[in-house]
Amino acid sequence: MKKFTLILAAALMSMGAMAQHTLNNPVGADGRYIVKYDCAADQFAAANDMEADETFTFAVDVTGTWLEDFLKGTPVAEGASRGLAINKWTSKGDVSGETNRMKQIKGNIWGMTVNYAQIFTNKEVLAAEILQADSILYIYGQIFGFEYTEENPGAGWWMWEDQNIDVTQAPGSDCLFAFAPYTGAKTSPEFYADDFEEGIYGSGEMGFAAPCVDASTTAVENVEVKQQGAKFIENGQMYIMHNGVKYNALGAQVK
């Protein structure tokens, strides 16, 4: 689906007939949507100043769009709720298809915590072409609706409500957003969706989590803060001892 969509988008753009869906996000100086969300200030950031291997909260505001009406609509699946997801790809290749469901931040703003380097599928291309000085990674996407229940995170999927299946981007722009030129000075530690108390549809994917979680520390550092225990090395492995209980680097109790 993603590769077909990319080919179709390229063909339409070459004919000057590219249709698109829009958002209520602010537009940056480059004419593209600002998708970086400042969780501390509870508003969109002033610019997309993040780099390709930097963790940030990605967010979309669908106020005034067909997606707002979708969210307010009656779910098709019994007992389901409605949410938003994104089919996304990059100028250098695909990313994990398991990192597409967003969660509500507030009102009509939905998002996720994400690190594109960590979800990028081709690690050789990542190292050779993306994580290189001054490289810019461009992101394309389609925001669509889905339905979920407690047991089924995809009770309804690829829901477009009779809309055309088109890309989402600001009028006149060439993609959804672009990262800042790469310097390597903002690299974030690895994280997984289930590292945090707030989950995201039961996912355990790397580089993907609920919006506005604090992914700025490693698993070991998170355990230390929470447990406030003593860290030590045993047989080449990292452990934390707290109140006489031994934990591994991921926070699991060791017998």
Interval 89-103: pLDDT, tens:
999 999 999 999 999
What is the model's pLDDT at position 241? 63
What is the residue-averaged pLDDT of the chain? 87
Residue 82 β-bridge partners: 147
Average pLDDT over residues 24-49: 98
Query: Residue 16 — left, alpha, or beta (φ > 0 → left; ψ -120 to 50 → alpha)?
Result: left
What is the model's pLDDT at position 237? 62
Percent of the chain at pLDDT > 70 equals 78
Interval 72-89: pLDDT, tens:
999 999 999 999 999 999
What is the model's pLDDT at position 216? 86
Cβ–Cβ under 8 Å, residues 186 and 131: no
What is the model's pLDDT at position 13? 44
Average pLDDT over residues 20-35: 98
In the chain, DSSP assigns E strands to 20-21, 37-38, 43-44, 56-61, 81-90, 93-94, 103-106, 109-114, 138-148, 156-159, 167-168, 177-178, 208-209, 230-234, 237-242, 245-248
What is the model's pLDDT at position 19? 72
Average pLDDT over residues 125-149: 98
- Comparison of pLDDT for 19 and 97, the residue scoring more: 97
Sorting pLDDT into bands at 50, 70 and 90, what band is 198?
very high
What is the model's pLDDT at position 220? 41
Q: Tell me the whole-structure pTM to 2 decimals.
A: 0.81
